Chains A and B, each alone.
Chain A
Amino acid sequence: MSMLANGILLPQDLLNSLWFQVFAAFVAFNTVIYVGLTLSKLMVWPRQARLRAMAAHLPTGGRGGGGTGGAATPPGLPPEGAPATWNLRTSLVGNDAPIATAGLGALLILINAILFAWDPSGPATPHIVGLALGVAFIGAAQIMSRARLGQEAMSWS
């Protein structure tokens, strides 16, 4: 990232030697991979599949069929009389849309960071706008995934 000038314990020519260049490329390769993995680990995952809800849609059924006579529908399960598209629409609103938004944000950040690093002497403003937009997308994705928007959000989208 940066280097410090002082007590030179090793000759500076070392930095130009072949083995050092190979070693530096090896570390650079690893580091870029770890940045990608670090960013990907910050993504919010979709909710876990509810097996009971899934089993109701399988031909063999779970055990004893769908409704076990509970009073209120537990969160994550379709309410009584819900349309057949309930699961799909809920997962679109609750999971897929936020993940896609966060992915777009991460991509924007990555692309702008790489482009900026490539040519730091060029105009910086477009990259800064791109980076800010990427952060905004990720922020929006966090809010979307936590707000548990209802299906109503889908009806106008």
Chain B
Amino acid sequence: MVLVIAVVVSATAIALAVGIATANTEFSATFRTVALGPLQLTVSDSGPSAGLVWLAAISVIIVALIALAFEGIAALLSARPRRKVLSARRHGRRMLPPVGPVRITVLVPAHNAEASLPATLDSLEAQTRAPDRIIVVADNCTDGTVRIAHDRGYEVFESVGNVHKKGGALNQVLARLLNEAMPEDAFLVMDADTQLGHEYLAIAGQALDDDPELAAVGGVFFGEGGHGVLGQFQRNEYTRYSAEIRRRRGRVFVLTGTASVFRSEALLDVSAARGVYIPGIPGTTYDTAALTEDNELTLALKSLGSSLISPPECTVTTELMPTWRDLWAQRKRWQRGALENLSAYGITPGTVRYWGQQVGIGYGTVALISAMALMLITFLAVDQWVWFPFWVIIGSVFWLERVITAWSGGWRARGLAALLIPELFYDVYLQMVFVACLKDIVLGHDTHWGHVQRTHEPGEAP
């Protein structure tokens, strides 16, 4: 973590040095009036110096090259997967190619999910390719979850003495299932508050059938309806993320915990590698010490050189946070989970890109807050509205990007994006979560995790 802070501070220092070197020290506000139809606009032609623009262009190229290098490292890891070495040494069970089409078992971990489970099961029944088996994994349920699953004719696995939340319950059921799994078996792990798009299983199954090297298929998640403006902020964020995954042709950052399919062989490799190549207790699939088990499992698979994909057709609709306080708690859990997982893994070829992402979030925080501070100071210090053509164009590019990337979310999404300022404040809110996490980790604060629908009893530390 200190490393992330150090890199962000260094980058800020370099940018400040550029600022000092290129600052327009003889600045004097020279304005002219331009007539645009009936309007008289005060315009200033002053913009950043040529040196600054060139240095920025060079920086963009450097950042792009670093990003490409991260992709290259990931590609090299996948080309010579470490998991092949592992499975070659697995006792009694060598990795064999699947002999037939993939067989998908759905695992629905549920903790007191009687309200949301029926919709989840409905979405499974509506699949164009029916799952081969569905198991509701009831974890410490005190409500009607088990009854609902039984009434609808589904298998139920009840966790025994589990104190490790979702990851612990899944470990119990997977320990049993993986023991008798064949190479063509795959497991869809999906949350009980999530609904799959109708094509999800068909597309995911096809992807696994087409490419025997593919270890897992993730979903591309969208937000449920409702929850007012806060819901729209979250939906826009998810829409943009899914559009980015689409442009990256399914190259996924994190296999979503809401719904992802894993080949049995990949999970066996992970459990064999735990405690050796990757953190965790040997023999277990999920690392129960991780706050965000989906992020951790992605890191585990990536570290073993597994190929992962999130096809854009594999859509998932998931719950949104109804209040700002819930959003804070959710994001703090995600962010802190991601940072803690990275700390557990260290800097390795499999994680270097994720470290880079954290630095990106950190520097983005510095850049956005300083830009807003500059705008505020200028706003309070000028006595007339002045147009800077250079900044009008730069601002328009940002504005267009915001609107275009939210376009597929419908007119509400576009409208909110077009207002620009509210989404900027939403971004600042999420960046504050990042700052709070860094502060907690550096100061060694422990946090108890709340959730809209608590998955465990309060006070049960992860």
Contact = CB atoms under 8 A, between A and B. Distances in A.
Given A25-B48, A48-B309, A120 B210 contact: no
B371 interface: yes
B370 A29 contact: no
A56 to B, nearest CB: 12
Interface stretch (B108-116, B376-384, B407-415): B376-384
Given A10-B381, A33-B59, A2 B79 contact: no
B60 A33 contact: yes
Given A2-B385, A26-B370, 9 more contacts: A8-B383, A15-B29, A27-B371, A33-B59, A41-B244, A43-B247, A62-B213, A68-B212, A117-B47
Contacts of B48: 25, 28-29, 32
Interface of A: 1-5, 7-12, 14-16, 18, 20-52, 54-55, 62-64, 68, 74-76, 113-114, 116-118, 120-121
Contacts of B212: 52, 68
A30 to B, nearest CB: 4
Contact of A16 (B29, B47, B248): B29
Main SS of the interface on chain B? helix
B382 A3 contact: yes
A48 B249 contact: yes
B82 to A, nearest CB: 14
B57 A36 contact: yes
A2 B307 contact: no
Nearest to A49: B75
A96 to B, nearest CB: 14
Contact of B393 (A2, A29, A44, A116): A116
Contacts of B22: 25, 29
B144 interface: no
Interface stretch (B1-9, B13-21, B319-327, B447-455): B13-21
Considering residues B19, B53, B384, which has the most beta carbons from chain A within 10 angstroms of its beta carbon? B19
Considering residues A3, A7, A9, A16, which has the most beta carbons from chain B within 10 angstroms of its beta carbon? A3
Contacts of B389: 116-117, 120
B213 to A, nearest CB: 4
B85 interface: no
Interface string B93-132: 0010100000000000000000000000000000000000
A29 B57 CA distance: 9
Given A10-B377, A27-B370, A1 B52 contact: no
B379 A46 contact: no
Given A33-B56, A33-B59, A52-B213, A10 B380 contact: yes
B394 interface: yes
Contacts, number: 196
17 contacts: A3-B384, A4-B379, A10-B377, A10-B381, A15-B381, A20-B377, A26-B15, A26-B18, A27-B367, A28-B48, A29-B48, A30-B371, A42-B401, A45-B247, A118-B47, A118-B390, A121-B45
Interface residues of B, number: 74
Contacts of A33: 56, 59-60, 63, 367
A140 B59 CA distance: 28
A54 B79 CA distance: 9
B19 to A, nearest CB: 3
Contacts of A113: 393-394, 397
A30 B381 contact: no
Nearest to B367: A30
B307 A51 contact: yes
Contacts of B27: 15-16, 21
B251 interface: yes
B250 interface: yes
B391 interface: yes
Given A3-B385, A16-B27, A29 B210 contact: no
B33 to A, nearest CB: 13
B424 interface: no
Contact of B249 (A2, A25, A46): A46
B55 interface: yes
